[in-house]
Amino acid sequence: MRRWILRLFGATIGRKVRTYPSTHIYFPWNLSVGDNSSFGEWTLVYNLGPITIGRRVTISQRVHLCAGTHDYTIPSMPLLKPPIEIEDDAWICADAYIGPNVKIGRNAIVAARGVVVKNVDADTIVGGNPVRIIKYRNAPDALPKDRGEN
C-alpha cells in the first residue's frame, strides 16, 4: 500500500521496496528507489533535492537523509537542494546522517551513527563524525595506509 501511495505522489519505486509506517518521506516526487531496497523504522528522508537509491540498499532505522541546506556565504542564506545518491548494495546503518550533495558508492557501508558530508567510494566501510575510512569491504584485512596502525 505504501509503495502505491508513494507512486501516486510521484515517487519512482522499484519492486519489493519495503518501508515502515514510521518512515517519513517529505517529497515523494523527489525520490527514486531501486528494487529490493528497504527503509528502517523512523527513517527521515528530507528530500528537498532528489534522492536516488539503488537496488538492494538497506537504510537502517533512524537514518537521516538530508538533501537540503543553505548557502551560508550569502547573507540571505538561500535554500539549496543538492542531491543524494546511494548506489546498489550499500548499507546505511542505524542513526547515520547523509548530508546534501553526497554519493555513497556501490557496496559501501556507513557505520552506525556515521556523519557523511563527502562522497564515499565503492566497497568502502566508513564510520565516525565526520566519517573516515575504517576498512575496505572486499578486503577485510586491508586498512587504509593513512591510519598508521601496526
Instruction: Work out the percent of the chain whose per-residue pLDDT is above 70.
Output: 93
Instruction: Phi first, then psi: give them for residue 100, nearest 5 degrees.
Output: -70, 150
pLDDT at 149: 46
Length of the chain: 150
Write out the H or E segment, with its range, that includes residue 126: strand 124-128
- Mind listing the pLDDT tens digit for each residue in 81-114? 999 999 999 999 999 999 999 999 999 999 999 9
Assessment of whether the complete model's pTM goes beyond 0.95: no
Mean pLDDT of 39-45: 97
Q: Taking CA 38 as the corner, what is the angle to CA 94 and CA 130, rounded to the nearest 5 degrees?
A: 35
pLDDT at 148: 46
- Thinking of the domain 2-147, which architecture would CATH place it in? 3 Solenoid (2.160)
- Identify which of 57, 54, 55, 46 has the alpha carbon closest to the alpha carbon of residue 82: 46
Cβ-contact 29, 11 below 8 angstroms:
yes
- Mind listing the pLDDT tens digit for each residue in 4-34? 889 989 999 999 999 999 999 999 999 999 9
Query: Residue 140 gets which letter from DSSP?
Result: T
What is the rounded CA–CA span in Å between residue 142 and residue 69?
Answer: 35
Q: Does residue 145 register a pLDDT over 70? A: no
Q: How do strand 115-116 and strand 97-98 relate by DSSP bridges?
A: parallel
pLDDT at 138: 80
pLDDT at 8: 87
User: Domain map of the chain by residue range?
Assistant: 2-147
What is the rounded CA–CA span in Å between residue 83 and residue 71?
Answer: 15
pLDDT at 51: 98
- Count CA atoms within 13 Å of residue 23 on its CB side: 21
Cβ-contact 88, 56 below 8 angstroms:
yes
- Rounded to the nearest angstrom, the gap between the alpha carbon of residue 77 and the centroid of all alpha carbons in its chain is 25
- Mind listing the pLDDT tens digit for each residue in 47-82? 999 999 999 999 999 999 999 999 999 999 999 999
